[in-house]
């Protein structure tokens, strides 16, 4: 029986990847379609992709597939053909090729079966994922975005929006996609007949969001085909004005791919212009935040003086300090004193019991 998961040390795999001489292509893809047996589908596809030296993350659920992987350039067509052949619905699936990438973001193939490919909190049995908004290609987006009254909605998290977003896009200030969906409906009430454009990184969240908005009575809903990644690629290929400002946050080792040279964010420690995300080097924190080179040197890659001091303590001293402390916050806007957290919590408190039951 073939091996269906990795059995090699993670650091060894990383070193093997770094020693490769053949360039790799990073590509993301997704598709909503029904999978009767996600585990069997996952195992069969894992065998094929593992043989093709594909690295990355792929999530599979009854509602479809979502992946971001890197592939040796000489095997890209074989990878694409294997994915096309995995199910009739995947034949011709759109591949979003990374804009700013060296192909070294992944070094192991991880394929997991999940309840959903995007956690959404939707339990309404009448919700129809097949009824989505209209796709917009890059040129169509530019045209519709310029029309008076068009509302552009960013369906990503705060830390993604902060470093880059489309011109005039509004943020839905929430920590999670499941909170964003009902929050977006509340924020846009009264605009049911206006043109509403939704977007995200690669298209998977905004496609579901567009279906949710239609489900809640909005009539003119659109979403950017392939998300920011495909928009940027097509706009540049076709010589179109690029309406996205700054950097596109991505969920791999890069933590971002540059779309334009404009830096719209600031270092969270000194306020200097900066859009470089990093994780706090203190193992008891790992906060995701924006840090400039000067502050990285000053704090040794840590998010605060406290973490800077704690990082160099002995393991026993670190454990004593961390006893009873909440760790694993991971992203800065979940910290209890962050204004977006307060905004989100206030919104939750205002929801009626009926509203909460509908999430």
Catalytic residues, by residue number, are: 200
Structure tokens at 86: 């995995």
Of the candidates 211, 209, 185, 33, which has an alpha carbon nearest to the alpha carbon of residue 132? 211
Concatenated DSSP letters of 295-324? HHHHTTT-SSHHHHHHHTS-HHHHHHHHTT
Reduce the secondary structure of 78-125 to three states and give it as a string: HHHHHHHHHCHHHCCCCCEECCCCCCCCCCCEEEEECCCCCCCCCCCC
Q: 124: which 2 tokens?
A: 């309404």
Residue with tokens 């509403």: 196
66 token code pair? 């979502």
User: What whole-number distance in Å separates Cα of residue 26 and Cα of residue 230?
Assistant: 13
Residue 251 vs residues 3, 115, 157, 263: alpha-carbon distances, Å = 27, 20, 12, 19
Contact 224, 199 (CB under 8 A): yes
- The DSSP annotation for 130-153 comes to TS--EEE-HHHHHHHHTSTT-EEE
């Amino acid at each position: 029986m073939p091996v269906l998961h990795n059995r090699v040390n993670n650091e060894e795999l990383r070193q093997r990847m770094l020693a490769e001489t053949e360039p790799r292509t990073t590509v993301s893809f997704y598709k909503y379609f029904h999978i009767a047996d996600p585990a069997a589908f996952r195992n069969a596809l894992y065998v094929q992709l593992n043989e093709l030296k594909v690295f990355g993350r792929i999530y599979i659920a009854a509602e479809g597939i979502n992946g971001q992987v890197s592939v040796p350039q000489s095997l890209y067509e074989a990878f694409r053909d294997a994915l096309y052949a995995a199910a009739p619905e995947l034949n011709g699936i759109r591949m979003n090729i990374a804009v700013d990438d060296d192909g070294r973001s992944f070094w192991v193939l991880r394929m997991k079966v999940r309840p959903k490919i995007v956690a959404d909190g939707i339990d309404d049995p009448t919700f129809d994922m097949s009824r989505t908004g209209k796709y917009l290609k890059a040129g169509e987006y530019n045209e519709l975005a310029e029309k008076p009254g068009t509302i552009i909605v960013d369906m990503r998290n705060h830390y993604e929006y902060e470093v880059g977003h489309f011109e005039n896009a509004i943020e839905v200030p929430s920590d999670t996609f499941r909170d964003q969906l009902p929050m977006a409906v509340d924020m846009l009430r009264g605009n049911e007949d206006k043109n509403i454009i939704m977007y995200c990184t690669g298209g998977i969240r905004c496609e579901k969001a567009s279906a949710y908005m239609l489900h809640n009575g909005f009539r003119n809903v659109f979403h950017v085909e392939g998300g920011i990644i495909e928009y940027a690629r097509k706009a540049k290929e076709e010589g179109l004005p690029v309406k996205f400002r700054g950097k596109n946050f991505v969920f791999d080792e890069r933590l971002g791919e540059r779309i334009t040279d404009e830096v719209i964010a600031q270092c969270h420690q000194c306020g200097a212009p900066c859009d470089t995300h990093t994780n706090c080097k203190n193992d008891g924190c790992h906060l995701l935040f924006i840090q400039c080179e000067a502050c990285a040197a000053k704090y040794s890659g840590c998010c605060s003086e406290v973490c800077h001091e704690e990082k160099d303590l002995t393991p026993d001293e670190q454990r004593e300090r961390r006893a009873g402390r909440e760790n694993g916050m991971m992203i800065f806007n979940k910290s209890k004193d962050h204004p977006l957290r307060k905004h989100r919590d206030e919104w939750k408190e205002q929801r009626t019991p009926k509203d909460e039951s509908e999430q």
